[in-house]
Amino acid sequence: MKKTEPFSVRALRSARLFPATALLAVCAGCQPAVTTTPPPPPVPVQVARAVRQDVPRQFESIGAVQALRTVSVKSQADGLIAEIHFKEGDEVRAGDLLVTLDRRPFENMLAIARANLANARAGAAQADADAERYRRLDQSAAIAKSDYTQFLTKAETAKAQVQAMEAAVTNAELLLSYTEIRAPIAGRTGQLLLHEGALVKANDNAYPLVTLNQLAPIAVAYAVPEDMLEEIHAALAARRATVTVTENSSGLVRTDGTLEFVDNAVDTTTGTITLKAVFPNADHSLWPGRFVSVVTQVGLDHDAMVVPAAAIMTGQTGSTLYVVKPDQTVELRAVKVTRVAGDQALLAAGVAAGETVVTDGQLRLLPGAKTEVRTPSGQPVAKDAAAAPDPKS
């Protein structure tokens, strides 16, 4: 016979099991939802291709145009300006007459010098005649030896006076020639500082008559860092150094410069050395005193691996860049930069020709991140378009 539990025991057991049963029933109706994290959006970047190309070895500087020769024309004698034979800004040739001084004072000085010379020559002739006469008397022992010696001395003195007067005539003729002031070089005349009727002093540094500047050919002087000196010397020895200038205001470009001068010492205060290039300048397009941008080419790196310099990141471990793989994810590569030329970086290792590198947006990238190529204006680039432009273009 089955034993029956008392009612009170069955009621207590049922009360204990109810919460657990109810909880299981509730949980059975509420299955937990499975959540998945969406992938991060692609990182917008700009890219370029790594290419092989010839890259010039060149240095950029700021230079100043200088007249190849500059002469301040001055008078070599004191005098009065009688006539001006040129206009300000004229082109003159070497030897052209520029200024004439009043000749009359110098002609008078020449006349006096010539008269003195004639007088000295007459006196010398008389002294020679007296010396010859006393020589014959001395030979016949008709006079004292001392008298003969005295007349010989007078004859030698007269000859010296003739030489002095001849020098005075030559000097007077030279001073007379100074009344015609001629151009010592071919060039362009500047501002005329003195005019007809003005008194000039010999070699007056304060008031030169005019300044001549030689404009063709013309020079450009500039400075480069001293560590470039060896390459410059090598380029000069091989005759491969070329110089190009761009005028900052007009944009004029001249490519026919030749490096002609390297200073004989480095400026210790700036660590630079001065160079000078010469341009034919037949059209006078380069003007003294103007500033120009100078590019000196000393060689060529043939078939160099080139990427935009903006792609290079420098850290504690060296230089790196991001390479975009075909699946649009990026890979961080270590590279060896040989040199930077303008906005291009030349690499010795790390990237192959044709690979795509990131040039903008690197700060938001991690290795393996997905990318989206965009234009500089922020527009997406179609996948079938050339997403990686050539650095040369």
* pLDDT less than 50: residues of the chain: 1-2, 7-9, 11-12, 14-15, 17-18, 20-28, 385-388, 393
CA dist., res. 291 & res. 249, Å (int): 8
Residue 285 lies in a domain: yes
Same domain, 232 and 283: yes
Cα of 324 vs its chain's centroid, Å = 40
Among 258, 276, 301, where does a domain finish?
301
The phi and psi torsions of 310 (rounded to 5 degrees) equal -65, -20
Indicate which CATH number applies to the domain containing 307: 2.40.420.20
Same domain, 235 and 337: no
Task: Give me the residues paired with residue 70 across strands.
Answer: 213
Strand residues in 142-290 grouped as ranges (E): 180-182, 187-189, 199-200, 210-213, 218-225, 242-247, 253-262, 272-279
Domain that holds residue 198: 76-99+181-213
Q: Are 359 and 310 in contact (CB under 8 A)?
A: yes
Among 178, 204, 235, where does a domain finish?
178
The pLDDT value given to residue 382: 63
CA dist., res. 335 & res. 347, Å (int): 7
pLDDT tens string 195-221: 999 999 999 988 899 999 999 999 999
Same domain, 159 and 287: no
Nearest to 345, CA basis, from 139, 98, 69, 50: 50
Task: Give me the residues paired with residue 44 across strands.
Answer: 372
Indicate which CATH number applies to the domain containing 192: 2.40.50.100
CA dist., res. 346 & res. 55, Å (int): 9
Residue 19 lies in a domain: no
Same domain, 190 and 226: no
CA dist., res. 148 & res. 65, Å (int): 73
Name the one residue in this structure whose structure tokens are 């500082």.
193
DSSP state of 152: H
Residue 33 lies in a domain: no
CB neighbour list of residue 190: distance below 8 Å, 6 or more residues apart: 88, 89, 210, 211, 212, 213
Name the one residue in this structure whose structure tokens are 């539990």.
5
Same domain, 91 and 109: no
Cα of 97 vs its chain's centroid, Å = 36
Among 213, 231, 258, where does a domain finish?
213
The pLDDT value given to residue 30: 52
Residue 260 lies in a domain: yes
The pLDDT value given to residue 315: 87
Same domain, 84 and 186: yes
Same domain, 63 and 126: no
Indicate which CATH number applies to the domain containing 140: 1.10.287.470
Residue 257 lies in a domain: yes
Q: For the chain, what is the domain count?
A: 4
The pLDDT value given to residue 105: 96
Same domain, 275 and 325: no
Same domain, 219 and 278: yes
Residue 5 lies in a domain: no
Rg (CA), the chain: 48
Residue 30 lies in a domain: no
Same domain, 109 and 150: yes
CA dist., res. 10 & res. 123, Å (int): 174
Same domain, 88 and 109: no
Full DSSP string of 215-244: -SSEEEEEEEEGGGHHHHHHHHHTT--EEE
Residue 146 lies in a domain: yes
Q: Are 331 and 322 in contact (CB under 8 A)?
A: yes
Q: Has this prediction a pTM greater than 0.85? A: no
pLDDT tens string 283-310: 999 999 999 999 999 989 999 999 999 9
The pLDDT value given to residue 21: 45
